[in-house]
Structure 1
């Protein structure tokens, strides 16, 4: 049996058609407010990139992207489906000549074939990928946290919109966003796994921005693995909220201030991935061809799942699920699209 949480007595308040209308309502509202609040312009984004460009997101470094060959003249070109647009966006800032204080965002569709499907994870990933040009003096925690609070306020406004649209809507999102470092979380719950630390903290406090993901903690173990070549591990983090439907923590967004050439070389060295310096993206960064930047991804289906109080991400997105999961969901009135 695939990992699956079945909430006691679960029944969605919305049928399939009502759910589709609510998804559009949420996406339209959130996207508009995200663009206006962060001064972002929507751009078109790729579904696949060249394998040797260095533009794909390597995630934790173990996931293998879906890849294929196409003809390129008399030879073949190797392409791979994106995991996210984390690095592509920084190149796009340069190509679009985006100035400091402005940015871009895109509707990102990805395939993560190595994913393990459960209530909140799917082979198909959809998110708003955004990136903003900043100055060197803004590469600090204060700027990061101020941006995080802007995004969290958009989440709160989305919840308020739903309360006005649906008279019986019960809010789930806590008003306060707590800022917590990964080391503080390890100090609070030293005997728990990183995943259980997030769960315990959000259960007791509602929500948090978990700051500093990727580098080793005092225990000698990182809170979680993070690719070494887009986020600065000291200046990144996740927005994580408590989801009472699943009685679990739920990550809605991952974001951070991007690496400069010093932090890039440092993080590649300690992660034993210095070979990436031969890729075009990394060469361009070392040659100061990219602006300093902040950016991240916000899960579209996760956002809709959370705000519509669904038990499974498959209730708000069309994907492929293990047969045993499909049968179990049918038995428990979880209507997968």
Structure 2
């Protein structure tokens, strides 16, 4: 069952043909800006990984991956949820050095996603990862990296306005940083999503950091798998979407676990069974490089910068009958 918002008097600024051209430009311009600021090299990415590799991401721990039998291997494959662990292994195998990184054009299926204006079962994102040293495992370095990403988004938005001056979406380059505990203290009676909406409405570019660990209320701000982000050094980048009147997450990112934080988080999450996987063993024995990385939603980026009210206006996916009926004559689903 979908949860659809149809903004009053909504009308897309660009038609379908112009939208397709604009999507291509946004993706090209953002890649140029992002790779320049973070020194990233494009690499090929897997659509699926072996089920027993331990490389697929568990996200919040409840999503079921799409799996399939591979007769030639007598094994099962899984369509990726994201590439957080795979990227770190690739940086090691490809011999990337400190200060350099990679990015991929990642496509995934998240079959358990609840359909809404900003969610579909199809995910497309820029997955990126960069090698760092131990001295860079700090909140200051995380915040500096977030600002670099926001600057790349603002640059992309500026180029979009030059080509399409009628698009009246403007991105605030000033990032408001707030911890998940500070957010809970500020709005103790609200749910985590309600807190995000209340805060981001007043601070249209926001980074909420330290997500995954239990807050003083006894609940985490949001679920996070214990084996890729360091819960003390991660966060979500959100923007205010004016047409929908809500906060929209564009990126989840963080400094990745080292041996100490992985050990602690596996214990906290009661996920010690993961220690059997090669990836986890290589983090625990310090074989893999220290890294920072994340995913940046491509469709959501296009949706935000173009002022679209539904993600189906910028990507092709499957929709239930309610969504199709609600959008009929108002929102053009691709």
Please classify the TM superposition score into its range, dividing by the shorter chain length: over 0.9
In 2, Cα distance between the equivalents of 1:72 and 1:282? 27
**1:287 Cα offset (Å):** 2.1
**1:323 Cα offset (Å):** 1.4
* 117-126 or 285-294: bigger deviation: 285-294
Map of 1:64-213 to 2, 5 A cutoff?
64-72=64-72, 76-213=74-211
In 1, Cα distance between the equivalents of 2:104 and 2:155? 21
Aligned-residue CA RMSD (Å):
0.9
Is 1:45 the equivalent of 2:45? yes
Name 2:224's counterpart in structure 1.
226
**1:157 Cα offset (Å):** 1.0
Is 1:33 the equivalent of 2:33? yes
Name 1:245's counterpart in structure 2.
243
Contact 1:178 1:208 in 2 (8 A): yes
**1:13 Cα offset (Å):** 1.4
SS at match of 2:263: helix
Contact 2:33 2:156 in 1 (8 A): no
In 2, Cα distance between the equivalents of 1:67 and 1:293? 28
Contact 1:110 1:124 in 2 (8 A): yes
Contact 1:172 1:243 in 2 (8 A): no
In 2, Cα distance between the equivalents of 1:106 and 1:149? 20
Q: Deviations over 1:4-43 (max 9, x none)?
A: 0010011101111110000001000001111111000000
Q: Deviations over 1:82-131 (max 9, x none)?
A: 00001100000011100000000000000000101110001000000000
> TM-score, normalization: structure 1?
0.97
Q: Deviations over 1:198-256 (max 9, x none)?
A: 00001112121101000011111110010100000000001101101100000011110
In 2, Cα distance between the equivalents of 1:275 and 1:182? 28
Is 1:334 the equivalent of 2:331? yes
SS at match of 1:215: coil
In 2, Cα distance between the equivalents of 1:194 and 1:268? 24
**1:167 Cα offset (Å):** 2.3
Gaps of 5+ in 1: none
Name 2:275's counterpart in structure 1.
277
Is 1:12 the equivalent of 2:12? yes
Name 1:306's counterpart in structure 2.
304
In 2, Cα distance between the equivalents of 1:308 and 1:207? 16
**1:194 Cα offset (Å):** 0.2
Name 1:59's counterpart in structure 2.
59
SS at match of 1:87: helix
Contact 2:256 2:293 in 1 (8 A): yes
Contact 2:169 2:306 in 1 (8 A): no
> TM-score, normalization: structure 2?
0.98
**1:135 Cα offset (Å):** 0.4
In 2, Cα distance between the equivalents of 1:22 and 1:129? 21
Q: Deviations over 1:147-182 (max 9, x none)?
A: 110001111111111221122231332231101100
In 2, Cα distance between the equivalents of 1:34 and 1:205? 23
Gaps of 5+ in 2: none
Instruction: Give the number of aligned pairs.
Output: 334
**1:298 Cα offset (Å):** 0.2
Name 1:322's counterpart in structure 2.
320
